[in-house]
Amino acid sequence: MDFDCNTLIDEPYNFHGMASVVDAYDETISVSERYNRVYDGSHLYYRYHTRLLELLSGDDSPQLKFSLQLEYDYVRTSFLEIYGTPSPNESNAIDLSSIHPIPFSDAVPLELWEEIFDLLPHQTRLVSRCVSQLWCRSLTRRTHAYLVLSIPDRWPEYLRPRVTDDPLALRRFAIRGLRYTNWPIFPYNIFLHLLDNLETVAIEGTAKLDPDCLPPSVICPFLLPSTVKELQLSKVAFDEYSIEGMISPAGRLERLSIENVDGGDLGIPSVLFDWDYQNFRESVGLTSFRRPYMLDVYPPSLRYLKLDLLYDTFGSVAESFGVPEITDDGFALLHQLFRTDFGAAYFESMLVEGEVFPLQTRTSLLEELDIRVSSQYFDHLRHIWQPLAACLTKLTLRIPRGNTGGMGSRVTLAGLNVLNTLVICCSYQIVRRAVSVMSTWASPYRSTPGSVFELWLHSDSGSPFLHLHCVSSLFLRRCMLASERNGMRTFRGSFIFGLQGFAGNPIDDIDYDLASGIVHDIRDDSAISLHSAECVRL
The mean-pLDDT minimum among 34-48, 84-98, 378-392, 406-420 falls in: 84-98
Checking if the pLDDT of 58 tops 50, the result is yes
Q: How far is CA 92 from the centre of its chain?
A: 32
Sign of the torsion formed by the C-alpha atoms of 522, 523, 527 and 529: positive
How many of the other CB atoms lie within 10 Å of CB of 38? 24
- d(CA 223, CA 37) in angstroms, rounded, equals 12
Give the residue with greater pLDDT, 199 vs 505: 199
pLDDT digits over 64-75, tens only?
888 888 877 766
Predicted local distance difference test score (pLDDT) of residue 154: 58
Task: Read off the pLDDT of residues 94-131 as tens digits, 9 standing for 90 and up.
Answer: 555 555 555 665 667 777 888 888 788 777 888 888 88
Domain ranges across the chain:
1-85, 177-378, 410-537
Query: Between residues 11 and 97, which one has the greater pLDDT?
Result: 11
Beta bridge partners of 499: 457, 537
Q: Which has more pLDDT, 106 or 472?
A: 472
Average confidence score pLDDT of the chain? 84
Inter-residue contact 249 to 273 (CB < 8 Å): no
pLDDT of residue 492: 94
CB-based contact 210:156 (threshold 8 Å): yes
Alpha helices in 322-402 (DSSP H): 331-337, 341-348, 378-385
DSSP summary character for residue 228: -
Residues 17-36 pLDDT 10s? 999 999 999 999 999 999 99
pLDDT tens-place string over residues 292-334: 999 988 899 999 999 999 988 888 888 777 677 777 778 889 9
Burial class, 56, CB count within 10 angstroms (exposed 0-12 / middle 13-18 / buried 19+) = middle
Which residue type is seen at 462?
A: G
Residues 487-511 have a mean pLDDT of 86
Supply angle C-alpha 302, 307, 312, rounded to 5: 140
Instruction: Say what the pLDDT of residue 163 is.
Output: 40
Residue 96: the pLDDT is: 53
Q: Cα separation of 132 and 99, whole Å?
A: 6
**Pairwise CA distance, residues 181 & 155, whole Å:** 10
Whether the predicted pLDDT of 530 surpasses 60:
yes
User: Looking at 98-102, 343-347, 374-378, 443-447, which range is the least confident one?
Assistant: 98-102
| pLDDT, tens digit (0-9, with 9 covering 90-100), for 324-359 | 777 777 888 999 999 988 888 878 888 888 899 999
Q: Among 27, 30, 31, 23, which residue's Cα sits nearest to residue 285?
A: 31
Evaluate whether 366 touches 390 at the Cβ level (below 8 Å): no
Please report which confidence band the pLDDT of residue 496 belongs to, taking 50, 70 and 90 as the band edges: very high
Task: Give yes or no for a contact between 53 and 167, defined as CB atoms under 8 angstroms apart.
Answer: yes
| pLDDT per residue as tens digits for the range 35-53 | 999 999 999 999 998 898 8
Cα distance between residue 165 and residue 71, in whole Å? 11
Question: CA–CA separation, 359 vs 11, rounded Å?
Answer: 44
Q: How far apart are the first and last CA of the chain?
A: 61
Most confident of 13-17, 160-164, 227-231, 534-538: 227-231
CA distance 40 to 219: 19
Which helix (H) or strand (E) segment holds residue 368: the answer is strand 368-372
Mean pLDDT value of segment 402-423: 88
State mean pLDDT over 377-387.
90
Do 335 and 343 meet the contact criterion of CB atoms below 8 Å apart? yes
Mean per-residue pLDDT for 123-142?
81
pLDDT in tens, 242-291: 999 999 999 999 999 999 999 999 888 777 777 788 888 888 899 999 99
**Mean pLDDT on 129-149:** 76
What value does the mean pLDDT take over residues 186-201? 88
CB atoms within 10 A of CB 450: 11
